[in-house]
Chain A
Amino acid sequence: MTVEQRYRYLYKPGVFIASLVPAALLAAGALGWFGADLGADPVAKLLHACGKTGLNFLLLTLLVTPVRRLTGWTHLVRLRRMLGLFAFFYLVAHFTVYLVLDRQLDYRNVLQDIVKRPYITIGFAALLMLVPLAVTSTNRMMRRLGRRWQRLHRLIYLIAILGVWHYWWQVKKDIRQPLLYAGMLAVLLGFRLVVRGLNRVRAARSTGAVTSTSAPATAPGKT
């Protein structure tokens, strides 16, 4: 099998099915399948589980680039779109649970919440920003937008930051979990900053623009 085929027939379907497992578990709990249940406060459980799974997928999406860099498995990028769309799926579910089950479609109350409660404001803003990313995730849109596509999709960094912040802000006291998410996000974003910094130094060196105090300009390895 070629790499192409392996992705098409094995990896992608595998990741797709695995990504649906959290949804299946929650559905089983909601419907009481196999004796599963969502506990005493099923709305809160659904709400939090969808939000957290969405956040997990956001981080997984951001993990693809560092893993590609470190392992050289450049073809992993073929999974990134699916992971991003699953993040969108779970976060839309998160908002839907809030709107329909928690607030019983009381739009006025929801609008008030969005305006008045900072943690809801930033969570909602992050969700809105995900919409254009999901809409422009098709091959056709990628081609059509060209360079602008990449610029637009850098929004994911801001979205992830707002997402973790939203999580942090609604926790009553025990911030260990949000702290963990903030730490993971910092590593993922920090990796990019470091790579960017290194690239700049290299680029500068290769053009000889940097007056280095270290060894005289030996040929920097090809990048």
Chain B
Amino acid sequence: MTVKQSAHIRPSQITPLDAYLNRRELLAGAVIAAALTATSSTTQAAEATPKPDPRFAFTRNARYSVKEASNSFQDITHYNNFYEFGTGKEDPAQNAHTLRPRPWSITVGGECEVRGTFGFDDLIKGLPLEERVYRFRCVEAWSMVIPWLGFQLSGLIQKLKPNSNAKYVQFVTLMDPKQMPGERDDVLRWPYVEALRMDEAMNPLALIAVGVYGQALPNQNGAPLRLVTPWKYGFKGVKSIIKINFLATQPSTTWAISAPSEYGFYANVNPHVDHPRWSQATERPIGKGLFAPRQQTLMFNGYENEVAYLYKGMDLRRNF
């Protein structure tokens, strides 16, 4: 496949949504089956990288893709922080089979014209899907490279027509302990809530992912749709979204509520501002084996050119 600039995606290259969505139905079963077999044996061979579905002819957005090699599908789907399915890194892959990502509806509210509850399909209709290979930096000082499949958040926001009072956009995860057993433990305040300032949300890097490696998003990665903001720590990437609200004032967000001195609203990747308990100067790259050295963490996770303007004049030590 040739790599193309985002501006050059022909409409014919973009998968019609119904084709994409029908495909999801087939895949849901496969994902569950994979999750079940993964739990049945601890010594199973690593899952091979799946081939993108041929009916799903996406284009890679080269402008917003990094050159580094992506992590394996196995690593991306078996090393997750998704406390709704347990606090261990391998818990989500084991437990997320209880999530039912279809049918799925999202409620839009607050300071916008288009309000109400929409089916997943209707909500994302007409938004061009593309693959973007982003760096992913966890606040725990490890990192991955992930080929997301999704659409620009700005496109969705334009569709929902926020009014001039809207200064923040808030996302809320599904709250249903039957589907998300981890929500029975009060390690965090449920449901999980995250938010962006409106200008951050409109930045072209902000992505709503619906897939990874050309596949529908596996449950443990936040199916059926999640936020991806690659210049911020991973916990900003709220998963399995059921509510989008446009707000006039800055809302509280889950990790900032949980430990306000350790996790801030902005959560921008910043090697110069340490977590109170550990350094953020370096990170351990996942998937490179026992002897891989730590690597330097980059300002805004390497996306400084794209996002630094958003924070001009702000004290990033205070607004961490």
Contact = CB atoms under 8 A, between A and B. Distances in A.
Interface of A: 30, 34-44, 46, 101-104, 113, 116-119, 169-170, 172-174
B10 interface: no
Nearest to B287: A40
B43 A34 contact: yes
15 contacts: A36-B43, A39-B78, A40-B74, A41-B286, A42-B289, A42-B290, A44-B284, A46-B290, A102-B284, A104-B293, A104-B294, A116-B279, A173-B87, A173-B188, A173-B259
A41 B142 contact: yes
Closest A-B pairs by Cβ, 5 of them: A40-B79, A174-B87, A40-B75, A35-B43, A104-B293
B278 interface: yes
B271 to A, nearest CB: 13
A169 B277 contact: yes
By size class, the interface of chain B is: 20 to 34
Contacts of A46: 290
Contacts of A44: 142, 284
Interface string B81-116: 001000101100000000000000000000000000
Interface in B37-59: 43-46
Main secondary structure of the interface of B (DSSP, over half): loop
Contacts of A117: 277-279
Contacts of B290: 30, 38, 42-43, 46, 101
B187 interface: yes
B291 interface: yes
B286 A40 contact: yes
Interface string B22-49: 0000000000000000000001111000
B279 A113 contact: yes
Nearest to A40: B79
Nearest to B140: A172
Q: Which of B45, B46, B279 has the most CB of A within 10 A?
A: B279
B77 to A, nearest CB: 10
Nearest to A46: B290
Given A40-B89, A42-B290, A170-B277, 6 more contacts: A37-B43, A39-B90, A41-B284, A43-B290, A169-B277, A173-B83
A39 B286 CA distance: 10
A172 B78 CA distance: 19
A117 B293 CA distance: 21
A108 to B, nearest CB: 12
Contacts of A174: 83, 87, 187
Interface in B124-159: 140, 142
Nearest to B41: A35
B258 interface: yes
Nearest to A112: B279
Nearest to A104: B293
Contacts of A170: 277-278
A101 B75 CA distance: 20
